[in-house]
């Protein structure tokens, strides 16, 4: 089992194509590409933490989740209404999570933090929301699809993007 992280998919949201300059001609093309790319790296037995802003229409969320591999956990984003949180297909839903993966303490939230629990003891902050527009801080990573070629990423891949993080 591999653990993945992602955020800011904004399935079905035509505004995201223009605002974030996503390389898709239509929402249908964007959604199909993101589902295909997700399933190309995530196996059915893997775990995915989605750090918010799932989809434009909450009514679409159950169908989208059914098409995506893995056990999916959601941390609510600013564009996730209650209906997205209650959609069938989430293993858990919350606003914030702390977990340990291997020897790494992780602090997960949709929003990037200026400081976080364990920051000075090596804990990493994984977030979405900023669509790659924030200057990275040490031990802080944007896991949003706009930063990672529209695929969920592993912790190892994140760490390799900036070399070894202390």
What CA–CA distance (Å, rounded) separates 57 from 99? 30
Per the CB < 8 A criterion, the answer to whether 9 and 145 are in contact is yes
What CA–CA distance (Å, rounded) separates 163 from 147? 16
Q: What is the pLDDT of residues 16-49, one digit of tens each?
A: 999 999 999 999 999 999 999 999 999 999 999 9
With CA atoms as reference, report the closest residue to 75 among 44, 97, 104.
Answer: 97
Q: What is the pLDDT of residues 92-112, one digit of tens each?
A: 999 999 999 999 999 999 999
| Rg (the chain; Cα; Å) | 15
What is the torsional sign of CA 77, 83, 84, 87?
positive
- pLDDT grade for 163, boundaries at 50, 70 and 90: low
Q: Integer distance in angstroms from the first to the last C-alpha of the chain?
A: 25
Q: What is the pLDDT of residues 47-59, one digit of tens each?
A: 999 999 999 999 9
What CA–CA distance (Å, rounded) separates 113 from 107? 9
Task: Identify which has the larger pLDDT, 118 or 162.
Answer: 118
């Amino acid at each position: 089992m591999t653990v993945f992280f992602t955020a800011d998919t904004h399935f079905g949201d035509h505004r995201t194509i223009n605002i974030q300059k996503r390389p898709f001609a239509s929402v249908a093309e964007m959604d199909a590409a993101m589902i295909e790319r997700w399933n190309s790296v995530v196996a059915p037995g893997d775990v995915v933490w989605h750090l918010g802003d799932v989809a434009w229409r909450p009514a679409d969320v159950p169908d989208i989740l059914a098409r995506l591999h893995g056990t999916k956990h959601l941390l609510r984003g600013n564009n996730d209404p209650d209906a997205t949180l209650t959609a069938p297909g989430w293993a858990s839903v919350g606003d914030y999570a702390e977990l340990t993966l291997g020897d790494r303490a992780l602090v997960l939230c949709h929003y990037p933090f200026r400081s976080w629990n364990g920051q000075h003891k090596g804990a990493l902050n994984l977030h979405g929301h900023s669509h790659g527009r924030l200057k990275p801080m040490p031990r802080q990573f944007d896991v949003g699809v706009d930063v990672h070629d529209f695929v969920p990423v592993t912790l190892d891949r994140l760490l390799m993007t900036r070399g070894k993080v202390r």
